[in-house]
Structure 1
């Protein structure tokens, strides 16, 4: 190597060793040689591209995206890392690193939503609003929000949007009770219930299967005897896609402080035009596609809800 010339980093993974330009994206470098590291968002949100650096380190754009315990073990999100040194990388192996889970039940609460319930090999501690990476038998990984209520339901519940073809959802259609999946990292998103909100108005605004985590958050709030008014709005493409309509109406009948609104609209902004604010103390939790969350957030901004009282989780389409 000539004096002063930048050193070219070397990556070793799955029995292969190759050189990459300094500053190369780690996910692209691994997939570029055919290692098929899964990913969904490329923004550090989904955690499907988890890999372990067993020798060397990387330039990490989001060092706080993983728990300290995982980082100390060398785990990194490949999509957020730049290669600046020689690396020995261990890919996430669901058969070794994942938690086994068995399919307990599947059903279709609407023509396009698959409700999947899994029983993990050992109990999993989680909070309403969190999500998990699911791995199928083909090595395809996708993040899904938990819809189950921790501490009260032995299963883990997920709502899969099957309106469009997808590598994971297409395979999920073929699952049967007793089949096995693997669970990856448990991830805490922005959505949660804080007991300090007890007396404040709580708005839960969901589009499509963005209802899944808010279904868990809603029941957590009710379990903790939330005193303020709760307003849940579910936006769907058509009336048949209000897949939890009956369960939501039953909860509203049991809790005088819960108001449920089921809206149908192809344009979210139009459906929200009549939304009015009662109190600037309102806490709002939003979940759905980027367009729907943006429409929710814009309407709340115009109504005067402070931005620090608006928490959102966006379901990004598979990259």
Structure 2
């Protein structure tokens, strides 16, 4: 049986054990969210030995050369010594500059990193508290214009990061993990094509950045944004979205609740075979949207989706 070491703690694990499970079963409290290699919350550094990496392309080669691995994607097949990601040493400090409740359970967090951070609309970051609680969140801010990074935190359900977020204060520091790009983005080659953006809950966050990026780049095709929320009060960006639509006649905004969802899905009719769709939210909502888009005639390779997990 291989020996696994983290800090001063060493123990034997069954060969082939998932590295994340082996660490957390031993009380190492490695954070995680997606378990699919996307969120990067479970980043660890290999100091001696290397695990078997089942998804090597999920991490940049530069990071891999430095010994970093995603614990959820690795198996322990030999002796291994690792170090946890230390946000104080490895994370980028960022000062909290604003905290606002946009809806009863949606907290808008704005931070300014101590070093400039270049990013694209639709990317996400892992946020770390000073107590070591971590969770990935999509960026809702517009790159290069706003001077801060914005995140929308869904606090409807209890969770380690959500519970910590309720006690954050302006002026405190968070740490930022690795910048990641998911499926959501805006491509300048899309300017003439119809673009649909379908969001559930705080899945609106990255699409809020992307729709403004599309308009900034002079998008000329029809733009349609649908936001599904639990009730009218939960349409937390209703006023800014409607104001944006008044400024840009090509932009159509639809704010719907679960009762209106079946009719909205049934009425989806893409204006052309060139229609693109960006979808974000909880897995069940993303699946509903994607299935209906396919039935409506939007090819699968023209649907880009990110899902938000419930683990917090």
Identify whether the pair has TM-score above 0.5, normalized to the shorter chain: yes
Q: Per-residue deviation at 1:35?
A: 1.3
> Matched residue of 1:185: which SS?
coil
The unaligned stretches of length 5 or more in structure 1 are 1-7
Q: Partner of 1:89 in structure 2?
A: 82
Q: Per-residue deviation at 1:269?
A: 3.9
Q: Residues 269 and 295 of structure 1 are in contact (CA less than 8 Å); yes or no, is this contact kept in structure 2?
A: no
1:228-252 CA distance string (max 9 Å, x none)? 1100000111100111111011111
The unaligned stretches of length 5 or more in structure 2 are none
Please give the TM-score of this superposition, normalised by the length of structure 2: 0.97
1:125 and 2:118 matched: yes
Please give the TM-score of this superposition, normalised by the length of structure 1: 0.95
| Aligned residue pair count | 312
Q: Distance in 2 between matches of 1:153 and 1:91?
A: 33
Q: Partner of 1:5 in structure 2?
A: none
Q: CA RMSD in A?
A: 1.2
Q: Partner of 2:249 in structure 1?
A: 256
1:305 and 2:298 matched: yes
Q: 2:230 aligns with which of 237, 240, 245?
A: 237
After superposition, the Cα gap between the structure-2 partners of 1:286 and 1:173, relative to the gap in structure 1 and judged at 3 Å, is same
1:19-58 CA distance string (max 9 Å, x none)? 2111011111111222111112222222111001122111
Q: Per-residue deviation at 1:271?
A: 3.8
Q: Per-residue deviation at 1:317?
A: 1.1
Q: Partner of 2:130 in structure 1?
A: 137
Q: Per-residue deviation at 1:270?
A: 4.6
> Matched residue of 2:117: which SS?
coil
Q: Partner of 1:54 in structure 2?
A: 47
1:293 and 2:286 matched: yes
1:181 and 2:181 matched: no
1:85-126 CA distance string (max 9 Å, x none)? 111111101111011111100101111100000111111111
Q: Per-residue deviation at 1:70?
A: 0.7
> Matched residue of 2:108: which SS?
strand
Q: Partner of 1:163 in structure 2?
A: 156
Q: 1:219 aligns with which of 212, 223, 229?
A: 212
Q: 1:19 aligns with which of 3, 12, 19?
A: 12
